[in-house]
Amino acid sequence: MVPPFSKPHIEVSPKRVRVLYSRQWIVDTKEAKLVRWEHQYYPTYFFEGNDVPQKYLRQSTTSVNDNENTKLYDVVVGENVAKAAAVKYGQTAGDLSGLIKIVFGAMSAWFEEDEEVFVHPKDPYKRVDVLQSSRHVRIEVNGVEIANTRKPRLLFETGLPVRTYIPKTDCRMDLLEPSNLSTECPYKGVASYYSIRLPDDGNHVFENIVWWYRTPLADCIDIKGFVAFYDEKVDVWVDGDKKERPHLPVS
């Protein structure tokens, strides 16, 4: 369980936070605000007004903003413009009043101290553990066994369902087709995906229901090369018992 914070919960980050856009540091501060619950699933960095030089902000005229408590700004460096990439919160925004949020994905790079961070800031109240297991795990799709292992690795991530990672040698790799999809996670790294095409139903493809990490980040290095199935879309047996399908986002 995470601490029972109300919305929003603001902490001063102990880390030096820098934001790079178009080869220019537009933020470099030791007073960044880490805000939880402003987004449902992960924390967000906010900044005091004097941490974001006004010369990099231009009031946005290209995006509609229906929230009277906020003003949208473009981030401008020379001829490069990140439209509506900064949000300033007004006097009626409670604890967020006067703070500026910069859209994470609109910037070139983010750094905590000298380490680059990806996707979004890490949650100080979340942890990720990978444990070797001897549970017997079987995966079926439409009655066809796709995986069968007694040496899974279980990934426990705060707030998310347990994910089972299986050696490829214990999977029907002949039924897995590489996908062009990739996603990023700040804890695990860049995931690649497989789709499944069953042998007796060649026209029916179960798209992007298997993922794996070629080069996971250090905290999750033990899942390297193993595959995980989207439990919400396959049938899973653990030690002979069929699991109910969860209804939670993939991770």
The residue from 58, 83, 117 where one domain ends is 117
Q: Are residues 133 and 206 in the same domain?
A: yes
Closest CA to 75 of 35, 104, 107, 105: 107
Q: Are residues 107 and 134 in the same domain?
A: no
| Residue 215: domain span | 128-242
- The pLDDT, as a whole number, for residue 251 is 46
Structural domain includes residue 236: yes
The residue from 68, 93, 117 where one domain ends is 117
Closest CA to 168 of 148, 188, 154, 141: 148
Q: Is residue 168's pLDDT more than 60?
A: yes
Structural domain includes residue 123: no
Q: Are residues 237 and 132 in the same domain?
A: yes
Q: Is residue 64's pLDDT more than 90?
A: no
Q: Is residue 66's pLDDT more than 80?
A: no
Count of structural domains, the chain? 2
The token pair that represents 190 in the structure block: 């860049």
Q: Are residues 91 and 133 in the same domain?
A: no
141: amino acid identity, one letter: V
Q: Are residues 166 and 235 in the same domain?
A: yes
The residue from 68, 98, 117 where one domain ends is 117
Name the 3-class secondary structure at 105: helix
Q: What is the pLDDT of residues 188-209, one digit of tens each?
A: 999 999 999 998 766 788 999 9
Q: Are residues 19 and 103 in the same domain?
A: yes
Structural domain includes residue 32: yes
Cα distance between residue 21 and residue 24, in whole Å: 5
Q: Are residues 107 and 202 in the same domain?
A: no
Q: What is the CATH number of the domain that holds 156?
A: 2.170.150.40
160/52: higher pLDDT: 52
Q: Is residue 36's pLDDT more than 90?
A: no
Q: Are residues 70 and 145 in the same domain?
A: no
Q: Mean pLDDT, to the nearest integer, of 102-107?
A: 96
Structural domain includes residue 224: yes
Q: What angle do CA 121, 122, 127 make, to 5 degrees?
A: 170
The token pair that represents 194 in the structure block: 């497989």
Structural domain includes residue 170: yes
Structural domain includes residue 219: yes
Structural domain includes residue 247: no
Cα distance between residue 103 and residue 88, in whole Å: 11
Cα distance between residue 45 and residue 43, in whole Å: 7
Structural domain includes residue 250: no
- The pLDDT, as a whole number, for residue 68 is 67
Closest CA to 134 of 238, 217, 2: 238
Q: Is residue 247's pLDDT more than 70?
A: no
- The pLDDT, as a whole number, for residue 250 is 47
Q: Are residues 133 and 70 in the same domain?
A: no
The average confidence (pLDDT) of the chain is 90
Q: Are residues 104 and 132 in the same domain?
A: no
pTM value > 0.85: no
Q: Are residues 170 and 195 in the same domain?
A: yes
